[in-house]
Amino acid sequence: MATFVDHVTLHLRAGNGGDGCVSVKREKFKPLAGPDGGNGGSGGDLVLVADPQTTTLLGYHRSPHRTSDNGGPGMGDHRNGHNGEMRELMVPLGTVVKDVDGNELMDMNEPGLRLIVAPGGQGGLGNAALASLKRKAPGFALLGTHGWEGDVYLELKTVADVALVGYPSAGKSSLIAAMSAARPKIADYPFTTLQPNLGVVQAGESRYTMADVPGLIEGASEGRGLGLEFLRHVERCTALLHVLDCATLDPGRDPISDLDIILGELAAYPVPEGQKPLLERPQLIALNKIDVPEARELAEFLRPDLEARGYRVFEISTVTHEGLKQLNYALSETVEAGRAEIAAAEARKPRIVLRPVAVDDGGFEIKVEGGTFGNTYRILGTKPERWVQQTNFTNDEAVGFLADRLAKLGVENELFRVGAVAGSTVIIGPGNSGVVFDWEPTLTSTAELITAPRGTDTRLDESTRRTSNQRREEYFGRMDAKAAARAELIREREAGLWPSDGEEFSGKSSSDASDASDTSDGSAPVSAGSQEGDTE
């Protein structure tokens, strides 16, 4: 059964956000006291934490599926739903987090580093939070959004100062056991070490970490043997210590040929961008097993040739501990020099500049996609996609609220710009998960005339109550009409169109009526009901 795992795929699902509540406060003498729906709680996050006490990814290999709690729904009386509990996932130092496409998300190379790898869903707002001066009693609430769901790849790369490299059975495990308190498995057959072993070595006031990794053979950079398992854990080391077996009995092998093969595999292995190639790092050579007389003679013979190549060479024996003290202090000096170089490089790093979002950046884009029945316009962006998830499409008021938000974001103007017309197919969201609409542009030409809340229209429910100015104008109009009628009656009386008292109107012409109206006493006839002051 495996006891060490250095790469695993995690299947994550963060908690969903809770839905907002639609509620109206009702109590004695206050049947409709206003909206009081609470907000939904946010879903729990899944967080990766770099933990020095964790040394393997074995736990995630056995149970790769991890989830977090959902947020609670909102309730009436302004009661918000509970937030989902955040869940921390401990990973070893040196764990590299990658997405499904192989892009590196974060390098967990320092204790305490945290990465929210799967954020929880956002809780929806209740109708109390959506209330405003123009929308005093919303009849809808926002839904909670879904938490992040997907896969991430974890790859462990051992964080050590010195890496022991060499052929299988060269004595690497024995060396780390002799120089530190580590107790790796030691046996007289190849590939004894199947997992990295770390040991802390003390050299005076200096302390460094040594890594014993699986052995290397020819073709390791192409995946032969345990080469890739080995090389992955060498990437982060400051210095390399080549452990050469001077007492090998295998035919066709000698320390020089072993060293050349190892150097070739180190040169063929590509390191991540920004890191120093393996062969450009400090390298030392330890000629091991000099407790065997033939091995001591071979080591003394090879030492001048190796020093001529520029290596610092040490003759050691892990059995008698001969030469280990000199090797220990030499490795300590190399590590301290490497740490100083890293510190200087850290000081020269450029500053991180945080730039605000541009004013004209709406946070979305529209892609025009061809289709059988014409162009399709797909809207992609964090805000539009989240707003669609929060909308209850069975509620007309909620759909109208979504339309207002999209119009305010500038989606309609951008659709006009890319050539969309009324009735065009618009999709909000990626892939098959997007929501499809038949676009109907908002009529902005009369928007300034509509001041009532959504769902009502003052043009359909106009008030018949007159204003003071209207009543004043109507009164003066009636007075003017009375004065004109009075003047007309006076003119008709003076013209003799009305019969005198006791006479009936005969319907004669005006001249006949004038002749018939003459009397002996010369008085003018006055018709009944035509006196001044009674003109109506």
Binding site feature residues for GTP: 166-173, 191-195, 212-215, 288-291, 317-319
Cβ atoms of 166 and 215 within 8 Å: the answer is yes
Q: What is the DSSP letter of 118?
A: E
Q: Which of 323, 414, 335, 334 is nearest to 377 (CA)?
A: 414
Cβ atoms of 147 and 13 within 8 Å: the answer is yes
How many angstroms separate the CA atoms of 135 and 139, rounded? 9
Query: Who contacts 33 (Cβ-Cβ below 8 Å, separation ≥6)?
Result: 24, 25, 26, 27
Binding positions for Mg(2+): 173, 193
How many angstroms separate the CA atoms of 164 and 173, rounded? 9
Q: Which of 303, 216, 305 is nearest to 314 (CA)?
A: 303
> Sheet of 162-165: strands edge to edge?
197-203, 206-212, 162-165, 239-245, 283-288, 312-315
Tokens of 414: 């951008």
SS3 call for 382: helix
- Rg value, the chain, Cα: 46
Binding positions: 166-173, 191-195, 212-215, 288-291, 317-319
Cβ atoms of 173 and 189 within 8 Å: the answer is no
Cβ neighbours of 96 (radius 10 Å): 21
